[in-house]
């Protein structure tokens, strides 16, 4: 979190201070709109920055990025290392466009080397808006608190009908077993309906994930089929 965020979230400040905070946020939104407006149909991929290249989750993310790129999607991630790097790498290997939306943190998170476009944000909430605004689907790979934040943000927007027809694929059923069980508990107790989770797929299979995205992105949004001819 930047000093700007910390100061803002400490409580009320002078009207002038808060006015300039809003101005800075607006500038960040405008910069994001300008940079991402023409990136094409995107699928966002999220997961931990902590997995190294020899980790099975890194390879899973690379395969997922390749499969998305092979369909013709632009792959958009948080732009950092680990799962994000792997997904961007897979997209590049498939000849697809690779985008990174990096975040400024006290421990600097450098961008990975597989990005065609990189944009850096100071505020998490601006970054999350951009990632959802420019994506037609959302793939969640194993990750920590930040990954869960992205996941539940998307699910909340789906549940409250702020976005519709937005498929969420959660990869690795073993890793997310407790989250799957939590959804079963919430459905049983009436806090979540079966309807709410129809576009959420828990799977460990890349082919099943891609079929789900084809059904709920390509067909549902009426995207041109020539965009999804497999890459040579």
How remote is the C-alpha of 31 from its chain's centroid?
19
pLDDT in tens, 95-143: 999 999 998 776 656 889 999 999 999 888 999 999 999 999 999 999 9
Smallest CA-to-CA distance from 227 within 60, 81, 70, 66 is with 70
pTM to 2 decimal places: 0.88
Domains of the chain, each with CATH number or no CATH: 3-223 (3.40.50.450)
Contacts of 122 (CB under 8 A, 6+ apart): 2, 4, 5, 24, 28, 103, 104
pLDDT in tens, 121-131: 988 899 999 99
Angle at 145 between CA 31 and CA 7, to 5 degrees: 55
Stretch 44-53: mean pLDDT: 95
Enumerate helices (H) and strands (E) in the chain, giving the number of each.
8, 7
């Amino acid at each position: 979190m930047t000093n700007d965020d910390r100061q803002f979230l400490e409580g009320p400040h002078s009207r002038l201070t808060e006015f300039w905070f809003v101005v800075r946020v607006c500038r960040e939104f405008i910069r994001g709109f300008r940079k991402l407006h023409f990136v094409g149909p995107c699928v966002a991929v999220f997961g931990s920055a902590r997995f190294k290249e020899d980790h099975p989750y890194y390879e899973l993310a690379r395969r997922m990025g390749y499969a998305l790129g092979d369909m013709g999607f632009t792959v958009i991630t948080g732009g950092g290392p680990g799962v994000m790097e792997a997904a961007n790498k897979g997209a590049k290997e498939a000849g697809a466009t690779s985008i990174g939306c990096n975040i400024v943190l006290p421990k600097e998170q450098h961008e990975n080397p597989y990005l065609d476009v990189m944009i850096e944000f100071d505020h998490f909430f601006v970054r999350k808006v951009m990632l959802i605004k420019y994506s037609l689907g959302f793939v969640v790979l194993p990750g920590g608190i930040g990954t869960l934040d992205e996941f539940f943000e998307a699910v909340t927007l789906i549940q409250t009908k702020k976005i519709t027809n937005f498929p969420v694929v959660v990869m690795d059923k073993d890793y997310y077993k407790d989250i799957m069980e939590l959804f079963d508990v919430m459905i049983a107790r009436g806090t979540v309906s079966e309807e709410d989770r129809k576009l959420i797929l828990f799977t460990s299979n890349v082919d099943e994930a891609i079929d789900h995205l084809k059904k709920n992105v390509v067909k549902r949004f009426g995207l041109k089929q020539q965009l999804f001819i497999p890459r040579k």
